[in-house]
Amino acid sequence: MNLLFLACLEPKSGNRTTAERIRSHIESAGHTCELRHAEDFESSSDVANLLSQNPQFEGALAIHLFKAGRLLLDIQVPFGIIFGGTDINEDVKVETRRVVMEKVLHKARFAVAFTDKLKKEAELYLHSQSSKIFVQPQGIETQATEDFSWSEFLRRSDVSGVHVQRLRVFLLICGLRRVKDPLYLVERFSEWHSENPQNVLVIIGPKIDTVFTDEVEAVVKRTAGVFLARERSRPELHAAMKRCFAVVNSSVSEGMSAAILEAMDLGLPVVARDIPGNKAVVQHEVTGLLYSSPQEFVHQSQRLLSDHELRARLIRNGKVYVVKHHSLKQERETYLRLMDTLH
C-alpha cells in the first residue's frame, strides 16, 4: 500500500521524530510511506491535486487534526489521523478550528490518541464515536553517543567561578516556540543560581519561531545561570541528557513529551510543569516531580538535590513505566493493524 503522510516537519522537532518513527513502522511491513511537510500545502485542494496526479497513493495519514488533518478533507482516498496534543488542548478552543477538526475526525477511518485523557477530551469536544479513537502511547528508543561534554560547553560561559565539573545542569529540551514557554522559569532560576551557583539551566532545541527565538536569546544573554545551546542530533542530545542532573519541562501544552519519556528511559529524574499532557505520563513523586509555578519548581528541585532516596525512586519508577507503557513493538503492531483498515 502506498501512503501519503502529512505532518509538521520542522528539523529535529518532536513531531518530525514521531512521524519518522511511525513511517518506519509502516514501511517495516512492506508499505510505502511518503512523508511530506504539511506547511508545503496551502489548502486541502492542493493535496487533492497531488493525489490526482499521483494515483499510486492509496491512503493517507496525518499528525495533528487541524494543522495537517484539514488538508485531507477533499481527498478521495481513505485516511487516518493522529492527535498532536495542541489540537485537543488548544485548537478546540477556537470555534472555527473546532468545526474543521470535527469534520476531519468524522471522515477519518481511525484516529490515534497518545493518552486516555486525549481520547476522552476528543470525544467530548469533537463529538466523536469512541470506537474510532485508539489509544497508543508513543514508543521510545534512546541511543546516546559518548562524545558530549557539558564541561566543554560551559567552560566557554560565565558560570560565576564555579568549577564546571561541580555544576548541576538542569536541561530544558524544547523547540523555541511560545507553547513550550522556555522563559517561564528563567527569572526564578537565575535567582536560585545566585544563591547556589552550582545550579544552571540549559535550554536546548531547534529555532522554530525565529521572532520568539530572538526574544529568548536576548533574555538568556542578560540572565545569569541560564544558557542556550544549539540543537543536537538525537544521539548527541541523549548523551547531553545522560550528563545532566535533571530534565525539565515548562510547556503550556503537551500531547506527550518525548523528552520526558526519553529522560525516564535514560535513567534521569524529570521535573515537569503540571499540565494535563505531562500529568498523563508523570505521576508526582512516583515517576517524576510536578510543579505549577517557578517558585514551586525551585522547591521541587531542591528536594531532588537533598533527598537521594527520592531521586533514586523516581529514576527506578520512570524506567519501569517507560518499559511497560511505551514499547516500540506495541506501537508498531498498533499502526500496522490500523493500516489494514485503509484498504
pLDDT tens per residue across span 110-119: 999 998 888 9
Segment 319-332 shows an average pLDDT of 93
Give CA–CA dist 69/104, Å, rounded. Answer: 6
Give CA–CA dist 59/72, Å, rounded. Answer: 10
How confident is residue 343, by pLDDT bands cut at 50, 70 and 90? confident
Highest-pLDDT range among 217-226, 231-240, 293-302 = 293-302
Which helix (H) or strand (E) is 112 found in, with range?
Answer: strand 110-113
CB 318 within 8 A of CB 263: yes
Segment 78-105 shows an average pLDDT of 90
pLDDT at 58 over 80: yes
pLDDT at 10 over 80: no
Bridge partners (DSSP) of residue 291 are: 273
- Report the pLDDT value the prediction gives residue 164, as an integer from 0 to 100: 58
Name, in order, each residue with C-beta under 8 angstroms of 55's C-beta and a sequence gap of 6 or more: none
CB 60 within 8 A of CB 68: no
Give CA–CA dist 210/107, Å, rounded. Answer: 35
- Report the pLDDT value the prediction gives residue 84, as an integer from 0 to 100: 85
Give CA–CA dist 115/192, Å, rounded. Answer: 35
How confident is residue 294, by pLDDT bands cut at 50, 70 and 90? very high
For all residues of the chain together, what is the average pLDDT?
Answer: 90
Give CA–CA dist 208/287, Å, rounded. Answer: 30
pLDDT tens per residue across span 235-288: 888 988 998 999 999 999 887 898 999 999 999 999 999 998 899 899 999 999
Segment 37-47 shows an average pLDDT of 92
- Report the pLDDT value the prediction gives residue 17, as an integer from 0 to 100: 84
Taking domain 2-139+327-342, whether its CATH number is 3.40.50.2000 is answered by: yes
Q: Grid coordinates standing for 339?
A: 493500516
Q: Is the model more confident about 130 or about 98?
A: 98
- Report the pLDDT value the prediction gives residue 155, as an integer from 0 to 100: 58
- CATH code 3.40.50.2000 region(s) in the chain: 2-139+327-342, 150-325
The b-or-e profile of 185-200 (16+ CB within 10 A means b, else e) is bbebbbebbeeebbbb
Give CA–CA dist 175/85, Å, rounded. Answer: 15
pLDDT at 341 over 70: yes
pLDDT at 185 over 70: yes
Q: Grid coordinates standing for 95?
A: 470555534
- Report the pLDDT value the prediction gives residue 290, as an integer from 0 to 100: 98
- Report the pLDDT value the prediction gives residue 233, as an integer from 0 to 100: 82
pLDDT at 97 over 60: yes
Any idea which architecture 150-325 has in CATH? 3-Layer(aba) Sandwich (3.40)
pLDDT at 139 over 70: yes
Give CA–CA dist 41/6, Å, rounded. Answer: 10
Q: What percent of the chain has pLDDT over 90?
A: 66
How confident is residue 133, by pLDDT bands cut at 50, 70 and 90? very high
- Report the pLDDT value the prediction gives residue 142, as an integer from 0 to 100: 84
- Report the pLDDT value the prediction gives residue 12, as an integer from 0 to 100: 62
CA angle 209, 211, 214 (to 5 degrees): 105
The one-character DSSP state at 288 is B
How confident is residue 156, by pLDDT bands cut at 50, 70 and 90? low
pTM greater than 0.95: no
Segment 220-249 shows an average pLDDT of 90
- Report the pLDDT value the prediction gives residue 11, as an integer from 0 to 100: 67
